[in-house]
Amino acid sequence: MNRLFYFILFYFFLTSCSLNEDSKLWKKKNIQKNENTKLILVKEKEFTKEFNSQIKLDLSKIKIKIKNKIFDNQNNFGSLEYSGLLNKAGFYKFSKFKEINHLDYEPLFLKGGLIFFDNSGTIIRYDNDQKIIWKKNYYSKFEKKMNPKLTFRHNDNELIIVDNLAKLYSININNGNLIWSNSNDYPFNSEIKIHKNKFFAVDYKNIIRCFNIKDGSECWSLQTENSLTVSGSKYSIIINNEQVIFNNSVGDITAIDINSGLINWQLPTQNTNITNETFNFKTSKLVSDGRSIYFSNNRDEIYSINIENGSINWKNKVNSNLKPILIENLIFTISEDGFLFTLDKKQGNIIRVNDIYKSYKSKNRKKIKPTGFIIGRNLLYLSNNDGKLFVVELTSGNILKEERISRDSISKPFIHDKKLFVVKNGSIIKYN
C-alpha cells in the first residue's frame, strides 16, 4: 500500500514539474515565447481551396539534386532517385500486426537488402531477393504478447534498437547476435539519431536521452514539459553544429548542447492548455537545411525557425502533420485534407495549392487521411489510410496514377536504390 502511495505521489511530482529559465540546467536564458499563439477550437473545417493550381513549376531551373542517403541527421532528403510508375518487383513478408491504425514503422535499408520486424518483435534481415538472411527475437513470452514496436538505426556493423516497451539494445547487423541490452524508465517514442559515439532518443515523458553506443549506458538526459496523455505521433530529432534539436508532445522545440546536455534555446509553439490534449495534437518531423528548421502541425501552422537561436523566421497556415520536403527554394507538403501545398522557403508564401483528393466524393474524403509522401525526380508519391498510393506530377500537380495497395492503412513511401517501397500489414512491397 505504501508503494502505491509513493508511486502516485511520485507521478504527480513528475507531471507537475517543468524546467524554468532560473533552473541551473539552463545555459542561456533564451526561451522564445510565442505570446500570439491561440487555442484553436475543435470543429469541422471546410476543405482547403485550390490556389494557382494551373501554375507549372519549372523544376529544371532549380537543379534538383538527386540524393540516395539512407540517413540524414537533418532529415533533409530532398528529391530521390526514382521516377517509376509502380511496377511490382517483390514482397518482403512478415507476420501481421494486430493494430494498424497507422503504420508508422520504417524499414532499415541496407546496400544488400533491408531489416524489419514482425508482430512479436522478431527482427528479420532480408536480401535484395526478399529471402531471409537471419531472424532474431530478444523478447520474453510476455513481452511478445505486448506486440513491441521497434525503431532502428545502424552504425557500421551495429544495429541500435529502441522500442515502446522501454527496452534498448544492440545487435550485430551481419548475424543478428546480441551485443548489449539495457532498459529505460519509460517507453520510447521517437526516431534515433547517432553522432560520433553517442545516440539519442526521446521517451513518452518528453525526456530526451543520450546513450553510449558501446554499452547503452546513459550519458545525460533532459526532461521537458510533460503532458497527462500520450502523444499520437512520434517525436523528431535533428543534429546540427554540435547541438541536438527535438520536438515533444506539447509542441516545444528544444535545442541542447550535444556534449553537456544543457539547453541552448527553447521555443514553445502552443498554448499551455494543450498539455491535456496531446493525443489529438500531431506535429511533423523536423527538417533542416542547416540554417533554418521547418515543421508543421495539425493546428493549421507551418513554421520556419532560426536554427541558431530558435526565433521564428515566418509562420503560415497549413494543416499538416507530414514532414515537409525541401527542394532548393521550395517547400512541399500535403495537408490533412489532401491538398498539395508549394511554398516559398524564404518567406513562407504559398505559391500553389492542388487538390489531390478531387476523385473522392465529399462524404468519403472526410475519412481519408494522408499517411506520408516522398518525391522522386519530378514525381510525388502520396500514400493514404485507405490503402491507395497516388502518383502526382510535381511540375503541374496533376494526378498520373492511383494504385490500390491495401484495403487498410499503408505506410508512407520509401525510396532506396532506385526502388520504391511501401509497408502494408503483412508485407513490404517493392516497386521498380
> What is the phi-psi region of residue 90: left when phi exceeds 0, alpha when psi lies from -120 to 50, beta otherwise?
left
Decide if 4 is inside a domain. Answer: no
Decide if 15 is inside a domain. Answer: no
Write down the pLDDT at residue 276. Answer: 64
Per-residue pLDDT of 93-104, as tens digits, reads: 999 998 776 678
Collect all residues with Cβ–Cβ distance below 8 Å to 74 and sequence separation of at least 6. 238, 239, 240, 287, 288, 289, 290
> Is it the case that residue 419 has pLDDT exceeding 70?
yes
- Give me the CATH number covering residue 272: 2.130.10.10
Write down the pLDDT at residue 349. Answer: 97
Which amino acid would we find at residue 292?
A: S
Residues found in the chain:
432
Decide if 105 is inside a domain. Answer: yes
Rounded Cα gap, residues 25 and 222, in angstroms = 9
Decide if 2 is inside a domain. Answer: no
How far is Cα of residue 196 from the mean position of the Cα atoms in its chain? 22
Write down the pLDDT at residue 157. Answer: 93
How far is Cα of residue 173 from the mean position of the Cα atoms in its chain? 23
* 24 DSSP 8-state letter: T
Q: How many domains does the chain have?
A: 1
Write down the pLDDT at residue 45. Answer: 47
Collect all residues with Cβ–Cβ distance below 8 Å to 75 and sequence separation of at least 6. 236, 238, 285, 286, 287, 288, 323
Which amino acid would we find at residue 299?
A: R
> Is it the case that residue 7 has pLDDT exceeding 70?
no
> Is it the case that residue 330 has pLDDT exceeding 80?
yes
Residue of 17, 8, 127 lying closest to 417 (CA atoms)? 127
Decide if 3 is inside a domain. Answer: no
Mean pLDDT in the chain?
A: 88
Q: How confident is the model at residue 278 (pLDDT cuts 50, 70, 90)?
A: low
Decide if 356 is inside a domain. Answer: yes
Asked if residues 249 and 259 have their Cβ atoms less than 8 Å apart, the reply is: no
Range of the domain at 339: 23-431
* 34 DSSP 8-state letter: -
Q: How confident is the model at residue 11 (pLDDT cuts 50, 70, 90)?
A: very low
Asked if residues 120 and 137 have their Cβ atoms less than 8 Å apart, the reply is: yes
Decide if 86 is inside a domain. Answer: yes
Rounded Cα gap, residues 174 and 159, in angstroms = 9
* 52 DSSP 8-state letter: S
Decide if 365 is inside a domain. Answer: yes
